[in-house]
Amino acid sequence: MRRVVFNQKGGVGKSTITCNLAAISAQKGKRTLVIDLDPQGNSTQYLLGSRTDPPEVTLADFFEQSLTFRLNPKETIDFVVASPFERLSLLPSHPRLEELQGKLESRYKIYKLREALDEIDEDFDQVFIDTPPALNFFTRSALIAADACLIPFDCDEFSRNALYSLLANAEEIRTDHNRDLKVEGIVVNQYQPRANLPQKVVQELIDEGLPVLQPYLSASVKIKESHERAAPMIHLDPRHKLTQEFIVLYENLEPKKKKKKGK
């Protein structure tokens, strides 16, 4: 299963949701890959930490290779690096991605990521893709490569107004490039149940028939400690309320096994 976490608005928790769901997936025994397509590299820093040596290979090297002819090109798996967490791997970001974007777009490398994931399909059970806060080459590449799209939503009017164009853009990608893409749901993040506005905005989305996922992710200062220590919540504090919400959200995303009929 390949999931892209996408919102054109920044600061809505894309990297946090990507890494925490991926960490739970790995904790549950699945071989899991995070792909960090955002040149800011928040997911890369979250999983590897800022105090470690930078990875020797990154997504910038992967995309750069696609722009030049090489007699012995590296395989996709050669760009994957291990995280400190068992069964959790990473295709790390690099700031150089930003300068490569124009070249990749002009050479129409928009399907390169999907081809790469097809190449390593048997190596991973779950793939989570973090994206930049813009509908650009990298985001389109992710939507073309993915099976499903998760949309982080932070309960304000700006996010709500942006949501409709976001859904339209995802539908356009589905129609033109990836018939299998589905919007799996809206992930309500930083939810404050005692505040009137978040309740009102989320309820209006539900009333409109939009796929709002349960549970809502609570606002918590603990997530900042999680970022600082480069430890997703399942590793930092497994019993924390927010950790439990991430676990239930992950379980709700997983396909339910059909029960066998009794004799």
* Per-domain residue ranges of the chain: 6-253
pLDDT band at 51 (very low <50, low <70, confident <90, very high): low
203, two tokens: 């309820």
pLDDT band at 257 (very low <50, low <70, confident <90, very high): low
Report domain 6-253's class.
alpha beta
Condensed to tens digits (0 to 9), the pLDDT of residues 159-194 reads 788 888 899 999 999 999 999 999 999 999 999 988
Q: Is the pLDDT of residue 73 over 80?
A: yes
Condensed to tens digits (0 to 9), the pLDDT of residues 131-167 reads 999 999 999 999 999 999 999 998 877 778 888 889 9
Choose among 57, 112, 96: nearest CA to 79.
Answer: 57
